[in-house]
Amino acid sequence: MDLPTSDIHKQAVKSLDTTSLLTNAARQRDARKFETFPIVDVDCHHYENESLSEIVKYIDDPVLKQMGMLYTGGGTGGQSPLNPGGVGYQDVSGRVTRYPLRKTETTPGDDQHRDVHLSLRWMNAMGVDYVCLFPTPMLSLGLHPQPEVEAGLAKAYNRWLLENITSKEERIKTMMYVPFSDPEAAYETVKEFGDHPDVIGFMIVSVRYHAVHSNAYMKTYALMEELGKPLGFHSNYNWNDRLVGNSNRFLVTHALGFTVYNAVHLCNWVVNAMPERFPKLKTVWIESGLAWIPWVMQRLDNDYKMRWSEAPSLKGLPSDYMREMFYTSQPMEIPDNPDVLKMTFDMINADDQLLWASDYPHWDMDVPSVIYDLPFLDERQKRKMLGGNAIDLFNLDVSKRFPNYKPV
């Protein structure tokens, strides 16, 4: 097909083949012998919007279901009643070619879902053994003006995902989407899906304006803690935000948005002493990179010492609690001075708390070598960050692929 580019004539490009695109990742996999230890990707994606006509059939509310079926069937023009996501172009106007070419990739017309085929292609190329799969446009669903739409669509998506994707491929797991706009629906989600073996945790999309410390959520956190599965906050951008969207360049709204939403939730989580209220509930901060964490640690500690009376339930510095939280690595900043990254790793206790993530197929994805090639890590540290820490956190059974696996 032809892609419009800057040139006077269009450039002809081949159809997308994920395996071919990732040939160099497969070479890295082989050169580093990734097959000798388990690699777990804690944050990757599919495009659930491509299956929305299947998903809306799982909606309970008959009126919402009819609207969803109409929208995904004949269409209703340019508007979407289901997706509040705003403007954006993550593919840098087609420069990241797997976006515009996505629809050209073919998959076998067998019983296996296309999303399973596509996931396994990139997983195998990178040498990834297990993944935690998340949606894409639904990462903006926390902005939907109708809480009942988030609740209804989330429940349908969760059911569809377990029935059609995770149950068909044991290497694909998920942290269940929690419809946070509706506290009761959030609780019911954890109650309905919490015991499912493919559900390794729970996920709140961070782009929203709800307070994580609201009393309305306490029973939900208590239930998560009782189930022994972690809670993740998955960030995103929002160009319609009046602060972090206050830029004419996607670069800015992405660089800030993905960090600031999680920073706000994390600060509220800490100063309201949620780790003291729910000491066994582990939290994971997803897709904000790493550079923001030392910033927040220093700011919170500094203010906390002057304003102790505002966070009286803490029994240590905010950074002490943050050091016990988990962080996914992607998109991992690579500063010119490697000492900066090493200092960040030290500050967050990366040996035990860092979880490698690819974010594939999104534009700022990381391959496993971003961790494996770091000069200041030894082999044991690399294996923990690439898989061991996630296996411990999620209590993952990796015996089918690694029968003799022992904790790193």
Partner 1 sequence: MAKEILVGKASDFKEGDKKIVPNGKTSEIGVYLVHGKWYAYANLCPHQGGPACEGLLMAKVEEVIAEDKTYQGMRFNHDEMHIVCPWHGWEFDIADGQAVADRKWSLRKFEVEVRGEDVYVIA
Which residue reads 């972090």 in tokens? 244
Contact track, partner 1, 367-396, x by CB under 8 A: x-xx--------------------------
Using CB under 8 A, pick the residue from 61, 69, 80, 96 that binds partner 1: 96
> Of 361, 366, 287, which is closest to residue 118 (Cα–Cα)?
361
- Beta carbon nearer to partner 1, 21 or 186: 21
Contact track, partner 1, 64-93, x by CB under 8 A: ---------------------------xx-
Which residues inside 347-366 make contact with partner 1, applying CB under 8 A?
Answer: 363-366
Tell me whether residue 56 is exposed, middle or buried, using C-beta atoms within 10 angstroms of its C-beta: 0 to 12, 13 to 18, 19 or more.
buried
- Beta carbon nearer to partner 1, 28 or 166: 28
- Is 182 a binding residue for partner 1 by CB under 8 A? The answer is no
Residues in the chain: 408
CA angle 188, 65, 143 (to 5 degrees): 60
Written as six digits, the tokens of 45 are 């994606």
Using CB under 8 A, pick the residue from 18, 28, 174, 344 that binds partner 1: 28
- Is 7 a binding residue for partner 1 by CB under 8 A? The answer is yes
- Is 5 a binding residue for partner 1 by CB under 8 A? The answer is yes
Written as six digits, the tokens of 138 are 């639904």
- Beta carbon nearer to partner 1, 288 or 369: 369
Using CB under 8 A, pick the residue from 3, 63, 70, 211 that binds partner 1: 3
Note whether 19 and 108 are within 8 A (CB): no
Smallest separation, CB 90 to partner 1 (Å): 10
Helix axes 292-306, 250-271, angle to 10 degrees: 40
- Please choose, out of 4-12, 54-62, 63-71, 271-279, the segment that lies near partner 1 by the rule CB under 8 A: 4-12
- Is 18 a binding residue for partner 1 by CB under 8 A? The answer is no
- Is 401 a binding residue for partner 1 by CB under 8 A? The answer is no
Which residues inside 233-292 make contact with partner 1, applying CB under 8 A?
Answer: none
Note whether 358 and 133 are within 8 A (CB): no
Note whether 216 and 185 are within 8 A (CB): no
E strands, 137-221, where? 172-177, 199-205
Using CB under 8 A, pick the residue from 94, 137, 147, 245 that binds partner 1: 94
Using CB under 8 A, pick the residue from 45, 46, 98, 155 that binds partner 1: 98
- The helices-and-strands tally (H runs, E runs) of the chain is 17, 10
Name the residue type at position 21. L
- Is 6 a binding residue for partner 1 by CB under 8 A? The answer is yes
Distance (Å, whole) CA 253 – CA 244: 6
Distance (Å, whole) CA 230 – CA 223: 11
Distance (Å, whole) CA 131 – CA 48: 16
Distance (Å, whole) CA 238 – CA 233: 15
Longest pairwise C-alpha distance within the chain: 66
CA angle 282, 167, 191 (to 5 degrees): 45
- Is 107 a binding residue for partner 1 by CB under 8 A? The answer is no
Using CB under 8 A, pick the residue from 1, 15, 24, 298 that binds partner 1: 24
- Beta carbon nearer to partner 1, 92 or 243: 92
- Beta carbon nearer to partner 1, 317 or 370: 370
If binding means CB under 8 A, how many residues of this protein chain bind partner 1? 28
- Beta carbon nearer to partner 1, 3 or 70: 3
Note whether 81 and 150 are within 8 A (CB): no
- Beta carbon nearer to partner 1, 83 or 369: 369
Smallest separation, CB 30 to partner 1 (Å): 9
Query: Which chain residues interact with partner 1 by CB under 8 A?
Result: 3, 5-9, 11, 13, 21, 23-25, 27-28, 91-92, 94-98, 363-367, 369-370
